Structure formats: C-alpha cells, structure tokens
Amino acid sequence: MNESDGRIVLVTGGARSGKSILAERMASARGSDVLYVATAVPRDPEMARRIESHRNARPSAWRVMESPEDPGETLRAAGEATPPPCAVIVDCLTVLASNILLKDLWLTEDNREMDDALVALIEKRGEEYMAVVRRMLEEARSGGLHTLVVTNEVGLGLVPEYPAARVYRDVVGRVNQVVAAEADEVWFACSGIPLRLKPGPVISGWPAREAGS
C-alpha cells in the first residue's frame, strides 16, 4: 500500500451494540472535518424518527451526504476535495444492502413467502451490492481517505424463517467478509465494549479460503 492510499476501518457488531458510537468516536479523534455518509432512507415514520435521532446526536460541524445506493460516488468526490475530510463514516452497509437488494420489493406479512423467481432476483441484486461495495473500497483507497465502515454482524442469530431473509443474511455475510479482508483494522462492538479483531494474533494458514465464500 502506498503512503497516499487511504485507510479502511471496519466496525461491526449486532443491533444496539455501540458500533456506530465507536465509529463516531474514532472519527472525532481525527478532527472536526468529518464526512458522514448516510445510507438510510426514511421509508416509514419509525425510520424517519431514528434518522432524526441520529442526526441530532452527531456534531453539527460534520458534513452529511445521503448515499442510499452508491456511497462510492460520494467517496470519489470526497477524495477529490481540497482538502479532503479528516475522516469519512459510511453508516451502514446492512441498510445499503436492503436498499439495493429489495428496492421495490419491500416485504409485508403477506408476501414474505417469495417464489423462486423473486428469490433469484434478490440473489442477482446481491452481485450488484457486492460490486457497489467493492467500488466504495476502491474509492476510499485511491482517494487517500480514512474511512470507517459500519456494518451489522448478521450471522449470530437464528436462521431466518423466510427465503428472502436467508438470502439477505448470506449476501451481507459474504460482503462483510470481503470488507474485513480488505480493511486495515476490524473492530467488533459487543454491549458497548469495543474489541479489536484486526490487526490481531496471526493464525497459521488463515485464511484457508478466499474471503466472501
């Protein structure tokens, strides 16, 4: 990696684990010129309230850009800015996955039992999601940005009941592995306690297979 290349930090954890707070504290430690790349879309009143709560909790000096489907384009512009932001937060990849995988297929209690064609469509969109995330990583590197990427660890609970949810879990899990392999640091938040996973102890022969499989 060249000195001009950016640094990527992945921050993961479960819901309400403290991962977003951890990423925000890491960004604040670098200065006040932080770019917050938000992927959430207020599709219902409850989500709108969550977004507003997050917005009110962030420092007012931070710049905010909404990028529900292509954060890579936002990072490209940030890397070309003079000077670039001291840190960029992308929050979060799991919401980005929902935006790309589901799009016009937002599920209700009546249509969760999706037929094979719809499941295949979501799987195909998973390839699009992977490409979007890879581009985001490339823009972060080439733009020399210090980028903190927030995502959910989706594999610690029960196997989802519905096919669409299982496909979603699998796609997000594979993409998380790719980002973790590319990242310079990986942090896991558990009940508000940050644990650094990477750099960490070297395990002989690991990884034994390509990340994302």
Give 9-50 as a DSSP string: EEEEESTTSSHHHHHHHHHHTT-S-EEEEE-----SHHHHHH
Active-site annotation holds for 146: no
Please answer whether residues 28 and 60 qualify as being in contact, where contact means their C-beta atoms are separated by less than 8 angstroms: no
Contact present, 73 and 67 (Cβ < 8 Å): yes
From 5, 21, 54, 77, active-site residue = 54
* Amino acid, single-letter form, for residue 94: T
Q: Are 59 and 32 in contact (CB under 8 A)?
A: yes
* Alpha helices (H) in the chain, listed in sequence order: 19-28, 45-57, 71-80, 93-101, 116-142, 163-182
Burial 8-25 (b: 16+ CB within 10 A, else e): bbbbbbbeebbbbebbbe
Q: What gap in Å lies between CA 51 and CA 58, rounded to an integer?
A: 11
Q: Which residues are catalytic?
A: 54
